[in-house]
Structure formats: structure tokens, C-alpha cells
């Protein structure tokens, strides 16, 4: 079984709809991240969480919200989807919590392809 799973893998929705993307991990990591990938722009950080009670905005958090329901689960919501939120969304985790360990490998889920019409 995959260590980092994302559901759904693909989603088509309409402008104005509320959407939730879910991420689960079995690696026991405290730190979790949500990125979006757009062609020509690479990956950009939306939100990140260091533990259940520590959630932080990334560089492009407007229009998104998150919930860290447990150490293993980190959900991303689009309260009112708009077409420019059409993208590939990745969840990632890593174990490092201090010093140089924060630069340990991030483990990525397979991605959710979201299309907003």
C-alpha cells in the first residue's frame, strides 16, 4: 500500500462548488504539505502543518483552507471553486522536526487532478 494517498485522483467540478481533497499518510510523519502544480510554474506551497495544532499559510493560500484532522490526515478545501484553481494538487509529508532534519526527503502522494469548469 502507498505511504501517502490522495482522494479523489481526478475531479471535475463547476464554478462555485465546494470541494475537499483528502490526504492520508501511514509514515507517521508530523509534517504535511499541500502544493499545487501548474504547467510552467512548478509546485507552489498552499498550506503546511507541523502537527495537528500547527497550521500555516504558504505562498498561495487565498481561496483555500485546510484541516488537520489527525496526524495522518490533512485535507484541503476550496470553499467556492473558480476556474483558475484548475491544477494538479499534491500532498507531501516528511519526518524532520528540527535542525538539518527538516531537510529530509519529502514524500509525495500521487496527486489529484482538479478541473473547475
Partner 1 sequence: AQSVTQPDIHITVSEGASLELRCNYSYGATPYLFWYVQSPGQGLQLLLKYFSGDTLVQGIKGFEAEFKRSQSSFNLRKPSVHWSDAAEYFCAVGARGNTGKLIFGQGTTLQVKP
Residue 37 and residue 105: Cα distance in Å, rounded? Answer: 19
Residue 64 near partner 1 by CB under 8 A? no
Binding track over 69-98 against partner 1, x by CB under 8 A: ---------------------x-x-x-x--
Residue 92 near residue 7, CB atoms below 8 Å: no
Contact between 33 and 106 under an 8 Å Cβ cutoff? The reply is yes
DSSP tag of 57: E
- Binding partner 1 by CB under 8 A: which of 76, 109, 114, 116? 109
Interacting residue ranges for partner 1, rule: CB under 8 A = 4, 31, 33, 35, 40-45, 48, 58, 90, 92, 94, 96, 99-100, 102-111
Amino acid at each position: 500500500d502507498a505511504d501517502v494517498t490522495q482522494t479523489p485522483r481526478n475531479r471535475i467540478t463547476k464554478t462555485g462548488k465546494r470541494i475537499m481533497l483528502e490526504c492520508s499518510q501511514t509514515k507517521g510523519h508530523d509534517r504535511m504539505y499541500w502544493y499545487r502544480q501548474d504547467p510552467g510554474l512548478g509546485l507552489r506551497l498552499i498550506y503546511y502543518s507541523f502537527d495537528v495544532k500547527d497550521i500555516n499559510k504558504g505562498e498561495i493560500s487565498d481561496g483555500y483552507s485546510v484541516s488537520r484532522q489527525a496526524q495522518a490526515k490533512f485535507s484541503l478545501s476550496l470553499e467556492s471553486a473558480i476556474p483558475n484553481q484548475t491544477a494538479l494538487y499534491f500532498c507531501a509529508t516528511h519526518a524532520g522536526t528540527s535542525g538539518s532534519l527538516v531537510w529530509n526527503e519529502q514524500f509525495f502522494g500521487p496527486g489529484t487532478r482538479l478541473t473547475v469548469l
